[in-house]
DNA sequence: TGAACCCATGAATTGGATTCATGAATGCCA
DNA sequence: TGGCATTCATGAATCCAATTCATGGGTTCA
């Protein structure tokens, strides 16, 4: 088999799985154009159309689906065997791909991983910043990081950070014009900065808890974003109230730029967790990453 | 997995199977130096030594053997799936690799395959000229050609040529100085041009048959070669007697440049056959090649 | 209807696959 | 034992194809 074919088959599998040249390209670390050229060349050499594509949509043909089902496991097997080969070597190596929020990546992962990576030069870590809850198996990650202890089926959760709290904050200028909310229901009369995720149609409800009472409030407001940084900046600008992680807001609260309300309705909850598939065969490199990230109170 | 790895894994498998960089390179169509560089790079990236080599010998390490056993079937599976994919296309394509003797390649295969290849531009045929009886499975061929009907276990033999006869020939100048042999035993007193194959220690015995009598004569002489062309040329030069295919000698016999002896001891035998593994899943291209080569008396 | 996004493609760039040249080591044979 | 043939290793040079750049066309959504 020509060497170009086997390379381009990998490209094909990535595109077929992602159903997008752009997403597959991002995953493989090449440009969308490179993948387009590769796939076109492969289809010409094989004499079979593997993908149907219009602008903005990609789907495998029948032949493409059959090929994906038949060779996909072989490629996965080769991947697994190469990973297992690492066990025979003196020093751990390999690339660990993680999905994490911006905050978790910067505040939790990087400080701990920097130490690890210095110690093990052949270990590589890729962190994909994504504030959604991604499907780490489907999207080809080794593990994901999220706040709280959401454990999906067949996932292992390892706590990697301390307890967290949410905070409802607003700028002093905002509170000069609006009464401070005393209970969560009051938020419905406020201009609340929303979190809108691309994959969710509805807006994100703010969650509150006091004693045994739990409230979810569907807030509304003039500004929404999919990025917490932008939301925080909007709050600082006096646009409205934001519902963000306490740690993120803390420096601004301490400097008087933001004021906190409804603090008693925001109890601490379990901190960030690393989650990964229980079936995953841990390479030595991955095991080291997990241990490096594990949270201990000492 | 980096794209260079999967390429170099193919190189590794080829070298491990051939136990030779030079032979693997010939098979893959690159230089020995290219393979050396590829394997060195792969071993560095994986951090594992896969092959032990001295000058003149190559053997997989323990890790290399395990890797070969674990990923070899995956690569074979991908190969097979790509071949099967051809079934989905409008026109047969692919590369068929054949091993044949020089004579069979020129006299039988090329005339028939030329027609086929003109008709199916996407079919490729590679003919490896080798006068040994190669292990086509181990050496990565799709089929082999040999005279006679030697069917090994699990092999299918398809006759592709007419009956053959061997011929003992010598130049007129040789017979002026030596009496003509009347029976095979007389050959022991003659200067016989030997066939020496690199893989066989002993010399090749000349086989004769008359009625129910069969004789194998271990001849001796001053000249030996591993190539029938060279043997024929030596006979033409008067060096001694040669034992070659009748068809090869016929033009020279007809022109008086060679004289034939012991003709009644050389009965016809079944002609050239194409042999291939019975388990082999025939691609459309391969099926076309077999049909193109099949011998019919019409 | 316009903006945003995605795929395709030709031309240009560039990096790495490959070759070239040559040295070192091994095995075989006289 | 020495010489020759053969094989693998390696640095430098070459070159080609993988990839990027730039841009156009088409689709979707607000």
Q: How far is A22 from chain B (nearest CA, A)?
A: 18
pLDDT, position B109: 82
Look at the alpha carbons of A172, A178, A182, A183 in this order and tell me if their dihedral is positive or negative: negative
Chain B residue numbers with beta carbons less than 8 Å from the beta carbon of A85 are 46, 48, 63, 66-67
Q: Does B82 sit within 8 Å of A78, measured CB to CB? A: no
* pLDDT of A15 over the 60 cut: yes
User: Residue B82 is part of a domain; what is its CATH number?
Assistant: 1.10.10.10
More confident residue, A221 or A27: A27
Is residue A52 located within the same domain as residue A113? no
CB B166 within 8 A of CB B243: yes
Q: Express each pLDDT in A63-94 by its tens digit.
A: 888 899 999 999 999 988 887 776 666 566 67
Chain A residue numbers with beta carbons less than 8 Å from the beta carbon of B34 are none
Please give the structure tokens belonging to residue B197: 């194959």
Nearest Cβ partner of B91 from A1, A47, A66?
A: A47
**HEC-encoded secondary structure of A196-263:** CCCCCCCCCCEEEEECCEEEEECCCCCCEECCHHHHHHHHHCCCCEEEEEHHHHHHHHHCCCCEEECH
Q: Does B47 sit within 8 Å of A90, measured CB to CB? A: yes
Q: How far is B39 from chain A (nearest CA, A)?
A: 15
Distance, CA of A26 to C1' of C14, in Å: 21
Which residues face B243 on adjacent strands? B168
Please give the structure tokens belonging to residue A100: 């994490």
More confident residue, B231 or A255: A255
Burial pattern A28-60, b for ≥16 Cβ within 10 A else e, equals bebeeeebeebbeebbeebbbbbbebeeeebeb
pLDDT, position B2: 57
Q: Is residue B10 part of a domain?
A: yes
Distance, CA of B131 to C1' of C26, in Å: 27
* pLDDT of B202 over the 50 cut: no
* pLDDT of A46 over the 70 cut: yes
Is residue B184 located within the same domain as residue B261? yes
Question: Mean pLDDT highest for which of B88-97, B147-156, B178-187?
Answer: B178-187
Distance, CA of B120 to C1' of C8, in Å: 30
Is residue B129 located within the same domain as residue B150? yes
* pLDDT of B127 over the 50 cut: yes
Mean pLDDT of chain A: 78
A33-37, A114-118, A281-285, B223-227: least confident range: B223-227
CB B219 within 8 A of CB B187: yes
Mean pLDDT value of segment B69-93: 79
Model confidence at B201, pLDDT cuts 50, 70, 90, reads: very low
User: Residue A213 is part of a domain; what is its CATH number?
Assistant: 3.40.190.290
More confident residue, B276 or A118: B276
Q: Is residue A275 part of a domain?
A: yes
How remote is the C-alpha of B226 from its chain's centroid?
13
Other CB atoms closer than 10 Å to residue A225's CB: what's the count?
16
Measuring from the CA of residue A51 to each C1' atom, give the nucleotide at the shortest distance: C7
Q: Express each pLDDT in B171-198 by its tens digit.
A: 998 898 888 888 888 888 888 877 654 3
In angstroms, the CA B123 to CA B288 distance is 9
| A86 and B CB contact within 8 Å | yes
Is residue A44 located within the same domain as residue A8? yes
More confident residue, A283 or A112: A112
| A25 and B CB contact within 8 Å | no
pLDDT, position A259: 92
Q: Is residue A298 part of a domain?
A: no
Is residue B81 located within the same domain as residue B95? no
Q: Total domain count for chain B? A: 3
- CB < 7 A to strand D: residues 61-80, chain A: none
In angstroms, the CA A243 to CA A207 distance is 9
Q: Does A70 sit within 8 Å of B74, measured CB to CB? A: no
Q: Does A6 sit within 8 Å of B7, measured CB to CB? A: yes
Model confidence at B228, pLDDT cuts 50, 70, 90, reads: low
Is residue B243 located within the same domain as residue B260? yes
Mean pLDDT of chain B: 78
DSSP H helices, chain A, are 3-18, 21-28, 32-46, 62-85, 102-104, 110-119, 172-177, 228-236, 246-254, 284-293
Q: Is residue A72 part of a domain?
A: yes
Distance, CA of A3 to C1' of D13, in Å: 23
pLDDT, position B71: 92
How remote is the C-alpha of B22 from its chain's centroid?
18
Q: Among B51, B68, B86, where does a domain finish?
A: B86
**Could you please report the per-residue DSSP string of B198-244?**
TT-SSPPPEEEEETTEEEEE----S-EES-HHHHHHHHHTTS-BEEE
pLDDT, position B139: 62
Asked if strand C comes closer than 7 Å to B41 Cβ, the answer is yes
Residue A181, Cβ density class (10 Å: 0-12 exposed, 13-18 middle, ≥19 buried): buried
* pLDDT of B133 over the 70 cut: no
Other CB atoms closer than 10 Å to residue A95's CB: what's the count?
15
More confident residue, A35 or B48: A35
Mean pLDDT value of segment A200-207: 57
In angstroms, the CA B234 to CA B49 distance is 48
In angstroms, the CA A144 to CA A137 distance is 10
Is residue A144 located within the same domain as residue A15? no
* pLDDT of A202 over the 60 cut: no
pLDDT, position B298: 43
pLDDT, position A73: 93
Q: Is residue A281 part of a domain?
A: yes
Distance, CA of B231 to C1' of C25, in Å: 34
Residue A214 φ/ψ region, left for φ over 0, alpha for ψ in the -120 to 50 degree band, beta for the rest = beta
| B281 and A CB contact within 8 Å | no
pLDDT, position B197: 47
pLDDT, position B113: 81
Q: Is residue B233 part of a domain?
A: yes
Q: What residue is closest to D25 (Cα–C1')?
A: A55
Asked if strand C comes closer than 7 Å to B57 Cβ, the answer is yes
Quote the domain boundaries for residue B245.
166-265
User: Residue A144 is part of a domain; what is its CATH number?
Assistant: 3.40.190.10
In angstroms, the CA B286 to CA B274 distance is 12
* pLDDT of A270 over the 80 cut: no
Q: Express each pLDDT in B15-65 by its tens digit.
A: 998 888 988 888 787 888 999 999 988 888 887 888 888 767 788 888 888
In angstroms, the CA A174 to CA A178 distance is 6
Look up the pTM and report it: 0.47
| Secondary structure element (H or E) that encloses residue A166, with its range | strand A166-170
Is residue B24 located within the same domain as residue B41? yes
Question: Mean pLDDT highest for which of A228-242, B135-149, B248-262?
Answer: B248-262
Please give the structure tokens belonging to residue B138: 């181990």
Is residue A174 located within the same domain as residue A251? yes
Q: Which of B74, B76, B90, B140 to mutate to test the interface with A (most CBs of A within 10 A)?
A: B74
Mean pLDDT value of segment B278-293: 75
pLDDT, position A93: 66
More confident residue, A103 or B144: B144
Residue A248: which of A221, A266, A264, A228 has the closest Cα?
A228
Mean pLDDT value of segment A141-155: 71
ipTM greater than 0.90, yes or no? Answer: no
Look at the alpha carbons of B213, B219, B224, B230 in this order and tell me if their dihedral is positive or negative: negative
Q: How far is A234 from chain B (nearest CA, A)?
A: 42
Distance, CA of B10 to C1' of D27, in Å: 41
Is residue B73 located within the same domain as residue B148? no
Is residue A251 located within the same domain as residue A172? yes
pLDDT, position B88: 60
Asked if strand C comes closer than 7 Å to B199 Cβ, the answer is no
CB B32 within 8 A of CB B58: no
Q: Which residues contact B122 (CB under 8 A, 6 or more apart)?
A: A47, B91, B92, B93, B94, B285
> What size, in residues, is chain A?
298
pLDDT, position A282: 67
Nearest Cβ partner of B47 from A47, A77, A122?
A: A122
Asked if strand D comes closer than 7 Å to A107 Cβ, the answer is no
Measuring from the CA of residue A54 to each C1' atom, give the nucleotide at the shortest distance: C7
Is residue B171 located within the same domain as residue B256? yes
- Interfacial B residues in 202-221 facing A (CB < 8 Å): none
Distance from the first to the final alpha carbon of chain B: 56
More confident residue, B150 or B111: B111
pLDDT, position A261: 92
Nearest CA in chain A to B1: A79
Nearest CA in chain B to A84: B67
Q: Is residue B158 part of a domain?
A: yes
CB A59 within 8 A of CB A51: yes
CB A177 within 8 A of CB A227: no
Q: Which residues contact A241 (CB under 8 A, 6 or more apart)?
A: A168, A169, A170, A174, A181, A187, A190, A191, A192, A193, A219, A221, A235, A261
In angstroms, the CA B183 to CA B265 distance is 8
Question: Which three-class secondary structure state does DSSP give residue B55?
Answer: coil
Q: Is residue A278 part of a domain?
A: yes
Other CB atoms closer than 10 Å to residue B77's CB: what's the count?
17
Q: Express each pLDDT in A120-134 by its tens digit.
A: 766 777 776 666 566
Distance, CA of B83 to C1' of D30, in Å: 48
CB B146 within 8 A of CB B101: yes
């Amino acid at each position: 088999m020509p060497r170009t074919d086997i390379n381009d088959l990998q490209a094909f599998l990535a595109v077929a799985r992602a159903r997008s040249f752009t997403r597959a390209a991002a995953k493989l670390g090449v440009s969308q154009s490179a993948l387009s050229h590769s796939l076109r060349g492969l289809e010409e050499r094989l004499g079979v159309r593997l993908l149907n594509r219009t602008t903005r949509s990609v789907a495998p043909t029948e032949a493409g689906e059959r090929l994906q089902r038949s060779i996909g496991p072989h490629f996965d097997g080769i991947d697994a065997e190469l990973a297992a080969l690492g066990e025979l070597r003196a020093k751990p190596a390999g690339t660990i791909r993680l999905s994490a929020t911006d905050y978790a990546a910067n505040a939790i992962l990087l400080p701990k991983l920097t130490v690890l990576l210095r110690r093990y030069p052949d270990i590589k870590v890729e962190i994909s910043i994504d504030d959604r809850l991604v499907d780490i198996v489907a999207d080809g990650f080794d593990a994901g990081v999220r706040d709280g202890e959401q454990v999906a089926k067949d996932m292992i959760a390892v706590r990697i950070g301390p307890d967290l709290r949410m905070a409802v904050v607003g700028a002093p200028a905002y509170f000069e014009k609006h009464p401070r909310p005393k209970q969560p229901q009051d938020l419905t009369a406020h201009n609340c900065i929303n979190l809108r995720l691309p994959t969710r149609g509805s807006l994100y409800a703010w969650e509150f808890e006091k004693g045994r009472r739990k409230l979810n409030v569907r807030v509304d407001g003039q500004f929404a974003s999919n990025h917490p940084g932008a939301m925080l900046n909007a709050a600082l600008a006096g646009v409205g109230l934001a519902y963000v992680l306490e740690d993120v807001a803390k420096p601004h609260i301490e400097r008087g730029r933001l004021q906190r309300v409804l603090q008693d309705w925001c109890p601490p909850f379990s901190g960030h967790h690393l989650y990964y598939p229980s079936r995953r065969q841990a390479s030595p490199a991955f095991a080291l990453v997990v241990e490096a990230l594990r949270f201990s109170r000492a």
